[in-house]
Amino acid sequence: MRHLAFFVFLHLLFAAASGQTAWEQRLDSRIAFYQTTDFGIVLAGTDKDLYAVDGQTGERIWRRETGRIHETAITPIPGTDVILVSRDLGSKSRLEAVDLLSGRTIWRSEKLKGDVLQLAADPANDLLAVVMVKDTRGKYGSEMKREPVTHMLRMSDGEELWKKTLRSDVEMMPSRFGEDLGEIDFTLDNYRAPLLIDDRLYLFYEGVTIHDARTGKEIERERFKVNESGLALTEADPTGDENSIYVSGRGRIRAVDRRSGEVRWRSDDLGNCAEMILIGEVLYVRTGGRFTRLRDGKAVAKGPYGVSAIDTRNGKTLWRYKGADKGLTNFAFLNAETIVIADRDDLTTINAHTGKRIEKFEHKIDDAAFVLINEMNQPVVGGKDELAAFSGTREAWRVRHKAPARGVLRIIGGIALRASALYFRYGGMATSAIGFARSGIGFLSSANSFRWSGIGSRFGSFDLTTLAANSARNFGIRQIYSFGSLGGLPDAARRLSGFQVLTPSGFRSSVAGRLTPSAGEVRESIADRLDPARYAERLSSYLLRRKRVAELRGSYMYFYTDLTKPFDRKGLVGVNVHTGRDARYILASDPDEQFVTDEVEELLYSADGNKLQAFNVLTER
């Protein structure tokens, strides 16, 4: 054991001494924003251009002359190889669908105004619903209200089928929190993303509104206040089964018939229904919890706290657990019979059939924010600087990494929150969805319904309880709908990747002639630099990266802290949530507040002025 420890020490010492910057790419001017994609490509916007950079090597893949754009101007369409880019051109606006892998324009519309802040897509049926808002910039600390407009488009060519204006302003959420931020982008991240399924579009901005996806005809509308007490995401994400879609609002659950669009039943008033898990014919609901306050990003506790079980056949409440009187985290399933919750002081297990408490004991986690179940089938309770796992009522392990005391406290706190939030980019499925709680989540994936909201890229702005209950669910999908370069891959290359690439019927022939934009828009495209054979090779490598993302389950909770010897500097340590071991180290002493990790490539990305940098993740082996 001593020899192993000494070998690990030497390995880390050598890595630290040799430096760990994997690559550095200088762009034309200051980097205003950047975001990762599921294909291992990093998108970065400067004051002049939009760049696509290979996340593994730092090579420029393409550059588009966009002028100065903001982070809300770039929107990925999950389950496809397409991004949407919106631009203001004086008194005009332009929305373009861009091939992520080549930078080429697939289609362009000058009829749509504003930025795409949320979307829902059904590529199999050639439908794309975008929710757009104009003038999303505002002064930090001020209240921002805008009127969202929903456009239903044909995904293949951008042709508008219909549009609906909400007819009232809704409160928006800052993209970042802090002090003296000046002008920033505002978002719709405080609302659930639209759901497009069964040729119906569900919107959640002023209650629940259901439209016929083909005609825009309003089928059902129930108005209620969505963000209670100025808090974000106090209502649960919708879920469903083969018969119904289940949505929450005003303390009640509604079952919407998937065939008629009519409300089949409404539950009793339970309180703020913040999380739902569907197992068989029982819908489990968490009421109350911790939520992000729109004004300043603080985590605020709001009750009543509890867990309820509802019979999905008739909406009757089977039982209610009201013993959580000291706040509440998300909830998770230890097995088919046992629900786990945590509050300020205790970890509690509940019988899933009766609602009776099984056990309750102290977890001793300061400011507990979430509970998850690891691969050892242990509940893991976490806060901003501590994790502990339990076997029965016995503590299995505990780790603590405090944020550095030196430096500007606001910045240090923001980086520390983002570090711990990184787990939920990939690993959030383990919190409530793994194993026994698959049905309500799986049905959305099988229905080819893809949704996007900025919470997927701006997760550092939300408290950990919200992230644990609402982590992204598009990663597990094992197929891609191609409207861009991937559609031209030979069948042999597609089969080699083991990942299904679907080209919607008739799309390739109808738009192939429009995949080459004018020379003034795209610069340095890798599609022009490589011969066809090598370009196909490169596309295959991006497809393989996307496959690895689909197969990935995050295992590391990161903490920003003072690293001990042999490092003796600030950096990130990754704790394995299954074993409690400090297993990863990132020697990025001062990452910017947007930094993000790529668990597939084992890199951390950060920007400094006009430099986009990638830092290696050092792993004990």
Dihedral sign (CA 600, 606, 611, 613): negative
Answer whether residue 618 is part of any domain.
no
Compute the distance between CA of residue 507 and CA of residue 497 in angstroms, rounded to an integer.
Answer: 22
Which pLDDT does position 447 carry in this prediction? 53
Can you tell me which residue has the tokens 């020697």? 587
Question: For residue 144, is it within any domain?
Answer: yes
Query: What integer pLDDT is reported at residue 496 of this predicted model?
Result: 62
Stretch (H or E) spanning 92: strand 92-99
Whether 248 contacts 256, CB under 8 Å: no
For the segment 510-568, what is each residue's pLDDT rounded down to a tens digit? 333 334 444 457 777 877 777 777 888 888 888 888 888 877 778 899 999 999 888 88
pLDDT along the chain (621 residues), means of 10: 47 50 94 92 94 95 90 91 88 89 92 93 93 91 92 95 91 85 89 92 91 94 80 91 90 90 90 90 94 90 93 96 86 91 94 95 92 92 93 94 74 84 73 48 58 82 85 64 85 69 61 42 78 83 85 87 87 94 92 90 94 92 60
Collect all residues with Cβ–Cβ distance below 8 Å to 526 and sequence separation of at least 6. 59, 60, 61, 62, 102, 535, 538
In a domain, 389, yes or no: yes
CA angle in degrees (0–180, nearest 5) for 126-132-137? 150
- Look at residue 26 and tell me if it is in a domain: no
Structure tokens at 122: 């059904």
In a domain, 379, yes or no: yes
Q: Positive or negative, the Cα torsion across 560, 562, 568, 574?
A: negative
Sign of CA dihedral 449, 427, 13, 16: positive
CB 588 within 8 A of CB 595: yes
pTM above 0.85? yes
DSSP assignment of 274-343: EEEEEETTEEEEEEEEEEEBTTT--EEEEEEEEEEEEETTT--EEEEE----S----EEEEETTEEEEE-
Domain count across the chain: 1
Read off the amino acid at residue 171: E
Q: Is 1 exposed, middle or buried (0-12, 13-18, 19+ CB in 10 A)?
A: exposed
Q: Assess contact for 220 and 208: CB atoms under 8 A.
A: yes
Asked if residue 303 belongs to a domain, the reply is yes
| Domain assignment of residue 86, yes or no | no
Q: What is the CATH number of the domain that holds 248?
A: 2.130.10
3-state secondary structure 130-170: EEEECCCEEECCCCCEECCEEEEEECCCCCEEEEEECCCCE
Determine which helix (DSSP H) or strand (DSSP E) holds 445, and give its type and residue range: helix 439-446
Could you tell me which of 606, 232, 589, 583 has the C-alpha nearest to residue 387?
Answer: 583
Domain range for 266 is 114-475
Would you give the DSSP letter of residue 80?
Answer: B
Which residues lie across from 58 on neighbouring strands?
A: none
Q: What is the pLDDT of residues 184-204, one digit of tens each?
A: 899 999 999 999 998 999 999
